[in-house]
Amino acid sequence: MASNSKICKLKISLSDIDRNHYDSLNLTVAQHPSETTERMMVRILVFCINAQESLEFTKGLSAVDEPDIWARSLDDQLLLWIDVGEPSPDRIKKASRIAKEVKVYSFNRKSTPWWEQGRDKFAQLKASFYRFEWEKAFSPWPHCTNVRCSFPSPLQVILPMSQLSWASAKCPGCRYRANRCLRLRNF
């Protein structure tokens, strides 16, 4: 963790109906100084989507040889490697050699060009690719000009994987209630 990282503590009630996984998560997440709030939010959502007992946040941007999130077995084998963003095909290839399962979640405007440029190489790799339609889901609250109102709180994640949503979330700046929805698509 970088010396001036921002620490966020979250309490999330998770209900994954498809996998019959229900949990109350108490997460402590470090936001690297060079990491955007949007990227940190995607890491949290991805953690919820893939929630399991052995899932952990890694050092993230502070350690280039590690994924953003991973799951390890009791004998320290890498079961799941999760990258957030637009990693290079070489990084995904390396990850697929050392982990049993590899997942990549992209979320910003660079996702489509990144996918188009690497599509042929990605097709040869043993990995799953997902894209959040970020701009549609996380545009600032339409009624509020307060920058702090970009994200709803409290966060309630409701799965199946085809849709993540907030149930009647409050705008943190002005307490306006609105429903927001984040859709997740396979590439």
Q: 3-state SS of 130-155? A: EEECHHHHCCCCCCCCCHHHHCCECC
Decide if 43 is inside a domain: yes
The domain of 92 spans: 6-186
pLDDT value at residue 137: 54
pLDDT for the residue 136: 57
Q: What is the pLDDT of residue 154?
A: 37
Contact 105, 82 (CB under 8 A): yes
CA angle at 122 for the pair 95 and 110, rounded to the nearest 5°: 95
> Is 92 part of a structural domain of the chain?
yes
**Residue 110: inside a domain, yes or no?**
yes
Place of tokens 């399991």: 52
Is 79 part of any domain? Answer: yes
Please name the amino acid found at residue 76.
Answer: D
Buried b (16+ CB within 10 A) or exposed e, 69-99: bbbeeeeeebebbbbbbbbebebbbebbeeb
pTM of model > 0.85? no
- Average pLDDT per consecutive 10 residues, the chain (187 residues; last block may be shorter): 75 84 88 87 91 89 85 95 94 95 89 89 91 62 39 37 38 43 46
**What is the DSSP pairing of strand 21-31 with strand 6-16?**
antiparallel
Q: What is residue 161's predicted lDDT score, i.e. its pLDDT?
A: 36
CATH at residue 15: 3.10.640.10
Q: What local confidence, expressed as pLDDT, does residue 6 receive?
A: 85
Give the chain's domain count.
1
**Residue 1 maps to a domain:** no
The pLDDT value given to residue 3: 64
